Amino acid sequence: GDSVTQMEGPVTLSEEAFLTINCTYTATGYPSLFWYVQYPGEGLQLLLKATKADDKGSNKGFEATYRKETTSFHLEKGSVQVSDSAVYFCALKGRGSTLGRLYFGRGTQLTVWP
Amino acid sequence: DTGVSQDPRHKITKRGQNVTFRCDPISEHNRLYWYRQTLGQGPEFLTYFQNEAQLEKSRLLSDRFSAERPKGSFSTLEIQRTEQGDSAMYLCASSGTGGTGDEQFFGPGTRLTVL
């Protein structure tokens, strides 16, 4: 079945460091891929998405490219800030019978120190 | 529009009691989802409505769980005879159709603690 495997955390970085959080997926067909972020005390927010192979999603300096050949959707940011400290979730939405559901990874806790 | 809202935000109950949660989606959204999130895990899908029709249910949704969306607007999730294993954050999300149909907007969640 459809699933997402996400890099385990926690990840601790200094401000302005480069960030990569790995995400790989298993799905039939061509799913849509998402990164959600959960800031402390807040609900899940969509960070970025990609709906087909080679699409690049981007938002707030974060980027992720839909790589069908490696079934990956790694999240990157060139220079993290303290305000990026949050939990990041990779997710996919399959095609076909699973009309609505999102499949989430376990989440990666990011802490950025000044 | 203030986004997806959920009520209550926190619920503490004793084992064996029934609880009911409410979700109010973004007003123009016809799709509504329930998820459950336990500590250290990502959200897990429970059920999905399009308008008032419940179109998909996870095997996680045991007989003790029931969800409704009677008028295609707000939804309720009821858990009967709660067990300690039901302790989790219950998340509601909504989405529209068309070009933005892939995007699910989440509420703040209801945290359930079963003693």
Question: What pLDDT is recorded for position B98?
Answer: 61
Q: Which two tokens stand for residue B7?
A: 């009520």
Of the candidates A6, A42, A93, which has its C-beta nearest B102's C-beta?
Answer: A93
Whether A51 sits inside 8 A of B102 (CB atoms) is: yes
Above 60 in pLDDT, residue B29?
A: yes
Contact B35, B6 (CB under 8 A): no
Set of chain B residues whose Cβ sits within 8 Å of the Cβ of A102:
33, 35, 43, 45, 104
Neighbours of B56 (CB within 10 A): 17
The pairing of strands A62-65 and A56-59 is antiparallel
Q: What's the gap in Å between the CA of A60 and the closest CA on chain B?
A: 17
A100 and B55 within 8 Å at the Cβ level: the answer is yes
pLDDT in tens, A14-73: 999 999 999 999 988 889 999 999 998 888 999 999 988 999 999 999 999 999 999 999
Cβ-defined contact of B108 to A42 (cutoff 8 Å): yes
Q: How far is CA B32 from CA A46, A111, B4, B100, B103, in A?
A: 16, 32, 10, 14, 12
| Cβ <8 Å between B48 and A100 | yes
CA distances to A103, B53, B94, B95 from B28, in Å? 24, 16, 9, 9
Q: How far is A82 from chain B (nearest CA, A)?
A: 22
Nearest to A85 by CA among A68, A109, A101, A60: A109
- Look at residues B46, B32, B28, B29 and name the one whose alpha carbon lies nearest to residue B86: B46
- Of the pLDDT bands very low, low, confident and very high (cuts 50, 70, 90), residue B112 is very high
The pLDDT tens digits of the residues spanning B33-78 come to: 999 999 889 999 999 999 999 988 888 888 999 999 998 899 999 9
Distance CA B52, CA B101 (A): 17
| CA separation for the pair B68, A35 (Å, rounded) | 29
